Amino acid sequence: MKKSRHAKIIELVGRYDIETQEELADRLRAEGYQVTQATVSRDIRELKLSKIAGVHGRQKYVVYEKEDVHLGDKYIRVLKDGYVSMDMAQNILVMKTVSGMAMAVAAAVDAMKMHEIVGCIAGDDTIMIAIRTVDDTILVMDKIKKLIEN
């Protein structure tokens, strides 16, 4: 039960901007988990969740990853350099890249470890990204747009 709950917590903080333990507990309850505030607090500590600045100055929980921050910057730079456009077909995101850049951009997308993404297939200038649901496809498109615009 604990592993299942931890997996659900990781999914929820990846999908939503969760600001408080109470909000996380409410979302877990909505998913069918019977939790107390103490349980959620312990889970946050065990999962090493951190709070970072989110949209409009609000904070949100994120999974702390021991990955080099500069490595993330490199992935974003590859994404920005190679990106041309994107469009969706249900739960498939099709991304066009600069010729010869699809493999590098797909590797960058994979390395960003977005929960919504199942996997990528890259050609020369096109990437097909399989995403869990149509709603998740819209979320991923928004995340990618934000990364590219910054």
Q: Which pLDDT value is given to residue 55?
A: 64
The residues of the chain that CATH labels 1.10.10.10 are 2-63
| Class of the CATH-defined domain 2-63 | mainly alpha
The residues of the chain that CATH labels 3.30.1360.40 are 69-149
Question: How many CA atoms are closer than 13 Å to the CA of 1, on its beta-carbon side?
Answer: 6
Topology of the domain comprising 69-149: Gyrase A; domain 2 (3.30.1360)
Query: For the segment 71-100, what is each residue's pLDDT rounded down to a tens digit?
Result: 467 788 888 999 999 999 999 999 999 998
Q: Rounded distance, CA 58 to CA 35, Å?
A: 25
Of 23, 119, 9, give the one whose Cα is nearest residue 64: 9
Whether residue 69 is predicted with pLDDT greater than 80 in this model: the reply is no
Q: Rounded distance, CA 124 to CA 105, Å?
A: 11
Question: In which band, very low, low, confident or very high, does the pLDDT at 52 lie, cut at 50, 70 and 90?
Answer: confident
